Amino acid sequence: MGTLVEEIFSRKAGREVHAGEIVLLDVDYIMSHDNTTPLAIKAFREIGKPIADKDKLVIHFDHAYPAPNLLAAEAQKKALDFIKEQGLTHFYHQGVCHQVMIEEGFVRPGAVIIGADSHTNTYGALGAFASGYGSTEIGVAWVAGKTWFKVPPTILVELEGSARPGVYSKDVMLYLAGLLGMDGATYRSVEFAGSYIQSLSMQARIVFSNFSTEIGAKCGLIAPDAVTVDFLEHETKAAPPYDLVQPVNPTYERIVRVNVAEIEPQVACHPDVDHVKPLSEVAGLPIDEVFIGTCTNGRYEDLEIAARMLKGRRVAPYTRTIVTPASALIYKKALENGLIQVFMDAGCTIGVVGCGACIGRHGGLLAPGERAFTTMNRNFIGRMGSPEAEIYLGSPAAVAAAAIEGKIVDPRPYLEAPYA
Amino acid sequence: MPRAWKFGENLNTDEIIPARYNITIEPKELARNVFCEIRPDYAQSVHPGDMVVGGPNFGCGSSREHAPIAIKGSGAACVIAPSFARIFFRNAINIGLPILECPEAAAEIADGDELAVSLGDGKITDLTSGKTYQAQPLPAFVLQIAEAGGIVNFLKTHTIEDLV
Ligand code: SF4
């Protein structure tokens, strides 16, 4: 009996556990990437014991891949040597770690997954417990195959109603970030529920779990349903049967209710994720770079929204517009369905699959004084390059409209009248 | 007698140890610069067994492990605060720095007060004011990690099952 996180942990523990308890649990998978694997290797070597179960390790090269400089190249070579030495088989370099984790079928409802990346929360959209940890802890989990968890209390976010046309899950999540604040859910599990969540595709749901990190949450969960099953069956390698774990007579620490019909397109303004305003308040702000991609909004549906608006149009001449599909699978589908052609005809630059410009190491850095409008999840100072640049966050539609006009504008007129 | 070193709310990892000193993970080396910008006298005058008393959201900011390592390296016996940032909380336990959550104690203990803390049962006594407080007791496994000097050391001689 309990909230979704309590139910997931109780199954793993083999007894009923509740918020506040500390439990030692088996983890299903331990994720790390090119940025965080080297430090985990260091902790692993120091412990001096073998890996408990090599099948649990999943390593991705995505943050700065292919290596943009010598330092990254050396770090990746060391990590690769380790992968070969240990004979690890779950090694990927075909896109953003979180997207590939889902596509490759590592994420299933009820699973417990830890990752050396703060946005590991992403997998919560499929009803898995997933959270980010420090590198040392990842090295420890390699050896132990388990780790300790403090069962978190839960905030229920109930989203009711239908969003207006042109308002996407990203707008709703940005609105929530503004409402709850950057530390609004620290230590907490956030359960996203309500008729609005139920009406969304999995791709749109993932935005909520992914962004839950930005409000301090330990995890951001959505109870699995028919949409989850359909997605797992058709868009991932995770084969049935699925354990559709649900909250049972849950006790929530807090309940937040929002009628999404009242939400306008939103923008998170420089330099904090909770510095959120209705888009209309920042309309007209000139934009030097538009970046469509990342684990937040670099999925096929996101590209489709942008392509629909860019079809038959050109991006503004001085607005660098970069489209980076989150994974190779998405890239391929976008290619097959003509989306890439649309982007290229519009004057966009197509990036290499992976994190791209998101962490300011390659794929579209910002110069001092530049301003980006992107589909990312973070706008911290210096995130995309110069600390004197500004980052604004929005939905795929909002940033595509900015690409066309070179400034922040309401995307809705473009959606209403797509080029015929 | 161990004394309290009092700090404010939302103390971030950069205030605990500025990023420019994070070129080492040697605890004693990091401890030379711990709190250097907000409390320059700390590193000089702290005595082994002294305690750090902070405000809400202690250790927020980056996920770097240098911050709890620096505090532990300074000889501090524990950190008492109303709440800790999530990754700091875990990092502290994993590197073997005991932390106690106790809003009343954190609010009322004054800088320089003499303290006695029993980590096992979470009892905090302010000998200066004569008041006692009850923090959430540390689970036995956290104490075991602390005794070993952190989880990496613990695992050199134990398995993780030994924790529970
Ligand atoms: S796309 Fe950005 S936020 Fe997502 S994992 Fe990569 S660097 Fe992190």
Which range has the worst mean pLDDT, A141-155, A232-246, B79-93?
B79-93
User: A359, A73, A109: which is closest to A221 by C-alpha?
Assistant: A109
Q: What is the pLDDT of residue A359?
A: 86
Structural contact between residues B32 and B82, judged by C-beta atoms closer than 8 angstroms: no
- Would the CB of A96 count as within 6 Å of ligand 1? yes
DSSP state, A359?
A: G
- Domain(s) labelled CATH 3.30.499.10 in chain A stretch across 4-258, 268-415
Q: Do A24 and B160 make contact, defined as CB atoms within 8 angstroms?
A: yes
What is the reported pLDDT for A417?
Answer: 64
A53 contacts chain B (CB < 8 A): no
Q: What is the mean pLDDT of residues A249-277?
A: 97
Res A420: pLDDT: 44
pLDDT tens per residue, range A40-69: 998 999 999 999 999 999 999 999 999 999
- A174 token code pair: 């940005």
Encoded amino acid at B103, one letter: P
Question: pLDDT for B36-54, tens place per residue?
Answer: 989 999 999 999 999 999 9
What CATH superfamily is the domain A4-258? Aconitase, domain 3 (3.30.499.10)
- The pLDDT confidence band at residue A419, using thresholds 50, 70 and 90, is low
pLDDT at A360: 87
- In the reported structure, the alpha carbon of residue A201 is separated from the centroid of ligand 1 by a whole-number distance in angstroms of 21
A136: contact with B, CB 8 A cutoff: yes
- What residues form DSSP beta bridges with A49? none
Q: Is the ipTM of this complex over 0.90?
A: no
Q: Which of B85, B95, B152 is nearest residue A186 as measured by Cβ atoms?
A: B85
Query: Average pLDDT over chain A, rounded to whole?
Result: 96
Domains of chain B: 4-163 (3.20.19.10)
Instruction: Judge whether A146 is closer than 8 Å to chain B, CB to CB.
Output: yes
Average the pLDDT over A361-381 and give the result: 94
Burial class (CB in 10 A: 0-12, 13-18, 19+), B29: middle
pLDDT of residue A183: 82
pLDDT over threshold 80, residue A416: no
Query: What sign does the dihedral B126-B129-B134-B136 (CA atoms) show?
Result: negative
Ligand 1 pocket check for A36: Cβ under 6 Å: no
Q: Using alpha carbons, select from A89, A24, A35 the residue that is nearest to residue A62.
A: A35
- What residues of chain B lie within 8 A of the CB of A27, using their CB? none
The whole-model pTM stands at 0.89
pLDDT recorded at residue B23: 67
Instruction: Please give the CATH number for the structural domain made up of A268-415.
Output: 3.30.499.10
Lowest mean pLDDT among A139-143, A286-290, A362-366, B119-123: B119-123
B101-B102-B107-B109 Cα dihedral, nearest 10 degrees: -100
Interval A255-272 mean pLDDT:
97
DSSP E strands in chain B: the ranges are 4-6, 51-53, 78-81, 99-101, 115-118, 123-126, 131-134
What is the percent of chain A where pLDDT is above 70?
99
Residues A323-352, mean pLDDT to the nearest whole number: 98
pLDDT in tens, A211-250: 999 998 999 999 999 999 999 999 999 999 999 999 999 9
